[in-house]
């Protein structure tokens, strides 16, 4: 999201709007400030992954959820605080992405419920809104876990309750909420051992803290757009996912490799590029910097000219974004999805790669939603996939643990009969599809599919994004790591080494079939060579290889 899109009022206007109690205009200013400050710190929130895998997306999910909420409330621009909060909560619900986004939407749902029928909000009502936010968030999670965003909103609410007893002003109460949130976030590793082991604080709780801290920074007249200049390793540049956030008018994608001049100032480089385009990323590797930016047609050469003043340009790549988007849509249309008749069961599958989507299509799904790691679909996108299908019986395969909650919320806003199969990856989704009985009832299919996914174990091969020790496994940044059923099991210098250690964990004596789904960074020949690790030591095991096309993960391996 382009941070320059939002322009906050000057100090005089801010003072008038934020006098307590505040109306809908003042509430929108607080929401807007929270969105901007969260966006400013989005990359840091993304980095707070427990496992060192290249799919940290909590910050992105929370920003996109807040942006959808803001856009919905912006449509009505009511001076009534209750109406503003209600629209904001509705936007958050439909725009919610990932577990963090869904829980955040529940927080705003409770918050808005307390403001219903109120034109303005003062300290007493803010406290009640925080109480409802806390209660709704906890009720929205089947098994609440402390040391997460839930704990942070609970501690923030306690601070609001204490502040109201001292007859604090609205500003003072918000400050108390933020101070309590800061302490709570720092304490999350003491409540959730996996955070302490990984050396990080909870990402969702941190995102919530930044939202409220943005509100306080607005009240105190502090900057909300501190430098977003972040230098990543080249391996962490998410250029593929940048396509998911192409803004209107941004026609070209420009990628430049360059060797910076002595004294190169990254922050100034970011600031100047922000005047040219959006979706700016900069990575470094072996003395070469790589810059990525989206620009409008007339400005597509400006990043090149400017970068030439900052270093020696080594390589330039330029793509027409609209053409890429049109090509993607054409490829999606080429999938042969299964038509559904009234009364039949329609299956909707979430898929992170073209090859995986093709397999789902061949197995009989009626609709495919593009998404997975780093690109969790929103509740609204899930609803759109099945709402117009000519049947009232729908099965959703989320195929990712961070999409299950969004799928459950999508089912709640539809009048259709919907079953959610808690598939955590594509291989589980395939196993579920093999059990589909179009002539059976929704309940029978649901039971059979849930049984099927218990029979599949999955390994993931990817590159570590940081050095850490988890569960006794020492990981060096840049090494190849393996996860088995979501648990980190090995780290090795090569993919072959990681696979060998993964096989030790997979209990191969009981495995009959192994399926490789290779990602976009590998080809068929390379995947075949890697499969030789299994052929050599386990010749009796049936082996299949498919092009999955997934980003970030070189291999997804199914053990059956």
Contacts of residue 384, defined as CB under 8 A and 6 or more positions apart, other chains included, come to none
pLDDT score of 227: 47
The three-state secondary structure class of 144 is: coil
Half-sphere exposure in the Cβ direction for 503 (13 Å, CA): 22
What is the percentage of the chain residues whose pLDDT exceeds 90?
62
Least confident of 127-136, 188-197, 335-344: 335-344
105 has a pLDDT exceeding 80: yes
- Give CA–CA dist 63/353, Å, rounded: 24
CA distances from 190 to 88, 177, 195, 395 (A): 33, 20, 8, 39
**Overall average pLDDT of the 373-390 stretch:** 90
pLDDT score of 358: 93
pLDDT score of 5: 47
pLDDT score of 331: 46
pLDDT confidence band for 238 (50 / 70 / 90): low
In this structure, are strands 252-260 and 311-320 parallel, antiparallel, or unpaired? Answer: antiparallel
pLDDT score of 1: 34
Residue ranges and CATH numbers for the domains of the chain are: 3-219 (1.25.40.340), 231-319 (3.30.70.260), 335-449 (3.40.50.510), 457-559 (3.30.1180)
**Overall average pLDDT of the 26-39 stretch:** 92
**Overall average pLDDT of the 235-248 stretch:** 51
Half-sphere exposure in the Cβ direction for 411 (13 Å, CA): 18
pLDDT score of 40: 85
pLDDT confidence band for 94 (50 / 70 / 90): very high
250 has a pLDDT exceeding 70: no
Please give the residue that has the higher pLDDT: either 151 or 466. 151
User: Tell me, what DSSP letter sits at residue 373?
Assistant: T
Angle, in degrees to the nearest 10, between helices 495-505 and 524-537: 40
2 has a pLDDT exceeding 50: no
pLDDT score of 17: 66
pLDDT score of 16: 65
126 has a pLDDT exceeding 60: yes
Longest CA–CA separation in the chain, Å: 77
pLDDT score of 350: 96
pLDDT confidence band for 404 (50 / 70 / 90): very high
What is the percentage of the chain residues whose pLDDT exceeds 70?
90
User: Considering the chain, what is the average pLDDT of its residues?
Assistant: 88
pLDDT score of 247: 52
pLDDT score of 3: 39
Task: Give the pLDDT confidence of 7-17 residue by residue, as tens digits.
Answer: 566 776 677 66
pLDDT confidence band for 325 (50 / 70 / 90): low
pLDDT score of 554: 93
**Overall average pLDDT of the 289-307 stretch:** 89
414 has a pLDDT exceeding 80: yes
pLDDT score of 330: 44
pLDDT confidence band for 226 (50 / 70 / 90): low
Task: Give the pLDDT confidence of 426-437 residue by residue, as tens digits.
Answer: 999 999 999 999
Q: How many CB atoms lie within 10 A of CB 158?
A: 17
Helices (H), 192-320: 193-198, 203-219, 239-242, 266-273, 302-308
- Give CA–CA dist 550/506, Å, rounded: 22
**Overall average pLDDT of the 200-222 stretch:** 93
pLDDT confidence band for 329 (50 / 70 / 90): very low
For 462-479, letters b (16+ CB in 10 Å) and e give: bbbbbebebeebebeeeb
User: Do the Cβ atoms of 123 and 96 come closer than 8 Å?
Assistant: no
26 has a pLDDT exceeding 70: yes
Give residue for tokens 């990981």.
475
Task: Give the pLDDT confidence of 171-200 residue by residue, as tens digits.
Answer: 999 999 999 999 999 999 999 998 998 889
Least confident of 85-89, 131-135, 238-242, 283-287: 238-242
529 has a pLDDT exceeding 50: yes
Least confident of 200-209, 443-452, 535-544: 535-544
User: Which helix (H) or strand (E) segment is 514 a member of?
Assistant: strand 513-518
* Contacts by 323-328, CB closer than 8 A, 24 or more apart: 324/243, 324/253, 325/243, 325/246, 328/243
pLDDT confidence band for 440 (50 / 70 / 90): confident
**pTM of structure:** 0.80
């Amino acid at each position: 999201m382009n941070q320059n899109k939002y322009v906050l009022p000057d100090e005089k206007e801010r003072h008038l709007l934020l006098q307590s109690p505040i109306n809908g205009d003042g509430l929108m200013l607080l929401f807007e400030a929270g969105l901007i400050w969260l966006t400013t710190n989005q990359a840091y929130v993304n980095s707070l992954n427990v496992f060192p895998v290249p799919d940290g997306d909590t910050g992105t999910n929370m920003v996109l959820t807040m942006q959808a909420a803001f856009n919905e409330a912006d449509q009505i621009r009511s001076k009534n605080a209750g109406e503003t909060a209600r629209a904001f909560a509705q936007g958050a619900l439909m725009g919610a992405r990932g577990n963090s986004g869904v829980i955040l939407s529940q927080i705003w749902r409770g918050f808005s419920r307390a403001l219903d029928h109120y034109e303005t909000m003062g300290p007493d009502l803010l406290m009640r809104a925080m109480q409802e936010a806390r209660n709704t968030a906890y009720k929205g999670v089947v098994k609440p876990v402390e040391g997460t965003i839930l704990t942070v909103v609970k501690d923030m609410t306690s601070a609001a309750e204490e502040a109201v007893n001292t007859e604090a002003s609205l500003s003072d109460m918000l400050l108390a909420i933020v101070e309590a949130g800061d302490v709570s976030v720092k304490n999350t590793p003491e409540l959730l051992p996996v955070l302490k082991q990984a050396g990080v604080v909870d990402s969702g709780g941190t995102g919530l803290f930044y939202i409220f801290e943005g509100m306080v920074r607005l009240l105190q007249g502090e900057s909300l757009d501190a430098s977003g200049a972040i230098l990543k390793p080249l391996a962490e540049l998410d250029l593929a996912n940048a396509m998911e956030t192409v803004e209107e008018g941004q026609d070209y994608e420009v990628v430049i490799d360059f060797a910076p001049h002595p004294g190169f100032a990254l922050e100034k480089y970011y600031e100047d590029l922000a005047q040219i385009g959006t979706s700016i990323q900069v990575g470094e590797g072996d003395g070469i910097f790589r810059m990525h930016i989206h620009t409008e047609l007339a400005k597509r050469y400006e990043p090149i000219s400017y970068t030439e003043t900052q270093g020696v340009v080594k390589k330039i790549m330029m793509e027409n974004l609209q053409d890429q988007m049109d090509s993607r849509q054409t490829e999606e249309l080429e999938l042969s999805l299964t038509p559904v008749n009234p009364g039949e069961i329609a299956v909707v599958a979430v898929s992170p790669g073209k090859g995986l989507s093709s397999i789902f299509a061949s197995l009989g799904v009626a609709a495919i939603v593009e998404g997975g790691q780093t690109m969790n679909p929103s509740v609204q996108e899930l609803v759109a996939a099945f709402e117009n299908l000519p049947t009232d019986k729908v099965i959703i395969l989320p195929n990712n643990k961070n999409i299950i909650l969004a799928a459950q919320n999508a089912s709640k806003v539809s009048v259709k009969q919907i079953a959610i199969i808690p598939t955590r990856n594509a291989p589980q989704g395939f196993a579920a599809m093999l059990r589909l009985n179009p002539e059976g009832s929704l309940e029978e299919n649901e039971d059979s599919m849930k049984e099927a996914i218990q029979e599949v174990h999955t390994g993931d091969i990817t590159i570590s994004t940081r050095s850490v020790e988890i569960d006794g496994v020492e990981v060096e940044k840049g090494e190849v790591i393996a996860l088995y059923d979501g648990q980190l099991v090995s780290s090795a210098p090569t993919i072959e080494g990681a696979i060998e250690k993964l096989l030790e964990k997979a209990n191969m004596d009981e495995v009959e079939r192994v399926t490789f789904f290779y990602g976009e960074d590998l080809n068929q020949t390379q995947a075949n060579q890697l499969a030789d690790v299994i052929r050599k030591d386990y010749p009796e095991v049936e082996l299949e290889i498919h092009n999955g096309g997934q980003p970030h993960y070189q291999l997804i391996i199914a053990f059956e």
